[in-house]
C-alpha cells in the first residue's frame, strides 16, 4: 500500500546505541516526528537544515514535499516531489503524490502519466491507492472500461474500501447499468448500514429497476440517518407515486419542500401527483411555481405553460 510515510525512515533505528547519527540525520528524524505530530512549519525548518548538509538525498526532498503539501503550498510541494524524483526516478510514492496533486488540479493527462508510472513500479498485484487514483482519472477522462477495471482491481486488493465501492456503484449508475450498480452497493450497505450516501445511491438504482418496496426501505433508512436529507424525501415521494400511494407521495414531497422550498424537482413532482389525484387547482399552482425555474430552458418552459392551459381546461369542465 502506498503510504505518505513509507519512505520516512527513522535513521536512529539503524544505529547501535553507542553510535551517534550525523547532524543531518538528527534534523531528518526530528522532522519526521514533527510531521507526524502535524507540526509542519517546524518540520520544514528541520528538513531545510538537513538539506543544507545533504542536498542529494531524495528522502529529504520527499519529506519536504509532504510538509509543503500539508501546508497547502502545492506548487512548492510539486517542485520538491520532482526534485526527489530526479534523485530517485523509481520512487512510486513520489509519483503517486504528484499524480494526486495534478488530479486535484484537474490536469488529468499529467496526473495519468505519473499514476501509470507509479503503477508500473508497484507490486504486480497492484496497489489499492494507485489503482483507485487511476480509476478516478480514467473516469474523468471518460475511459469508463478502464475506470471499472481499476476500481475492481483496487477492491480486489482491499475489499473493505467503501469509498471505492461507492465510486464504482455511481459509475455504473452513470452508465445506466443499474443492476451492476445495485449489486456493488448492496455489498457495501451490508458492510456499513448507516452510510447515508451508499443507502441513497442504492435507492436510486432500485428505483430504476422498479424495485419500489426496496426503494422505499432504503429511502427510509437514509431519513433515519439524516432527517434533513432532502433528496431522500423526494425519492421516497417518487416511490410512493409509482406504487399509487399518492397521499404518501404528497406528504414526502411536502416534507422535502419544508426543508428546501426552492427544490424544483420536488415542486414538479408534487404538481404531477396533484394532477394524478385530480386536484387540479393545486397542480396548476405548483406547475406555475415550477415555471420560475425554467428561465434558461425555453422549450420546457413552453411545454409546462401548455400543460397548465390543459389543466385549466380540465378545471372548467
Q: Is the separation of the CB atoms in 8 and 63 below 8 Å? A: yes
Residue 127 confidence (pLDDT) above 50: yes
Q: How would residue 9 be classed by pLDDT, with cut points 50, 70 and 90?
A: very low
pLDDT at 8: 52
pLDDT tens-digit map of 144-169:
999 999 999 999 999 999 999 999 99
Average pLDDT taken over every residue of the chain: 93
CB contact burial 14-37 (16+ within 10 A = b; e otherwise): eeeeeeeeeebbbbbbbbbebbee
Helix axis angle, 144-157 to 162-174, nearest 10°? 160
d(CA 275, CA 271): 6
Task: Return the C-alpha cell found at 10.
Answer: 527513522
Among 195, 250, 248, CA closest to 225? 195
pTM of the model: 0.86
Number of H helices, E strands in the chain: 17, 0
Give the pLDDT of residue 6: 42
What b/e string do you get for 114-131 counting C-beta neighbours within 10 Å, with b at 16 or more?
Answer: bbebbbeebeeebbbbbb
Binned at pLDDT 50, 70 and 90, residue 315 comes out as: confident
Phi then psi for residue 227, to 5 deg, are -65, -10
For residue 2, pLDDT over 50 is answered with no
Query: Is 239 in contact with 212 (CB distance < 8 Å)?
Result: yes
CB 238 within 8 A of CB 270: no
The answer to whether residue 137 scores a pLDDT higher than 90 is yes
**286's grid cell:** 405548483
Range 116-145 average pLDDT: 94
Does domain 169-225 bear CATH number 3.30.910.20? no
DSSP string, 123-146: -TT--HHHHHHHHHHHHHTT-HHH
Q: Report domain extents, the chain.
A: 169-225
Determine contact, residues 78/64, Cβ cutoff 8 Å.
no
Amino acid at each position: 500500500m502506498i503510504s505518505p510515510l513509507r519512505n520516512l525512515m527513522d535513521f536512529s533505528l539503524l544505529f547501535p546505541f553507542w553510535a551517534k547519527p550525523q547532524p543531518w540525520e538528527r534534523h531528518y528524524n526530528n522532522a519526521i516526528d514533527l510531521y507526524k505530530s502535524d507540526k509542519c512549519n517546524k518540520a520544514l525548518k528541520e528538513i531545510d537544515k538537513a538539506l543544507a548538509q545533504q542536498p542529494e538525498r531524495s528522502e529529504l526532498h520527499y519529506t519536504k514535499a509532504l510538509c509543503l503539501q500539508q501546508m497547502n503550498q502545492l506548487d512548492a510541494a510539486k517542485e520538491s516531489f520532482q526534485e526527489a524524483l530526479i534523485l530517485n526516478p523509481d520512487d512510486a510514492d513520489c509519483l503517486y503524490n504528484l499524480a494526486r496533486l495534478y488530479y486535484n488540479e484537474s490536469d488529468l493527462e499529467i496526473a495519468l502519466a505519473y499514476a501509470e508510472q507509479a503503477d508500473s513500479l508497484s507490486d504486480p498485484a497492484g496497489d489499492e491507492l494507485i489503482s483507485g487514483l487511476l480509476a478516478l482519472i480514467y473516469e474523468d477522462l471518460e475511459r469508463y472500461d478502464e475506470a471499472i477495471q481499476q476500481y475492481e482491481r483496487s477492491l480486489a486488493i482491499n475489499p473493505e474500501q467503501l469509498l471505492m465501492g461507492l465510486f464504482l456503484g455511481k459509475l455504473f449508475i452513470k452508465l445506466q447499468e443499474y443492476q451492476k450498480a445495485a449489486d456493488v452497493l448492496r455489498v457495501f450497505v451490508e458492510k456499513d448500514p448507516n452510510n447515508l450516501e451508499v443507502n441513497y445511491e442504492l435507492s436510486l438504482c432500485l428505483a430504476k429497476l422498479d424495485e419500489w418496496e426496496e426503494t422505499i426501505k432504503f429511502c427510509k433508512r437514509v431519513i433515519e440517518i439524516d432527517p434533513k436529507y432532502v433528496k431522500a424525501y423526494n425519492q421516497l415521494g417518487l416511490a410512493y407515486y409509482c406504487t399509487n400511494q399518492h397521499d404518501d407521495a404528497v406528504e414526502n414531497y411536502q416534507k422535502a419542500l419544508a426543508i428546501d422550498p426552492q427544490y424544483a424537482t420536488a415542486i414538479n413532482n408534487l404538481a404531477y401527483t396533484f394532477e394524478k389525484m385530480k386536484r387540479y387547482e393545486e397542480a396548476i399552482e405548483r406547475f406555475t411555481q415550477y415555471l420560475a425555474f425554467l428561465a434558461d430552458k425555453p422549450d420546457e418552459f413552453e411545454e409546462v405553460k401548455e400543460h397548465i392551459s390543459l389543466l385549466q381546461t380540465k378545471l372548467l369542465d
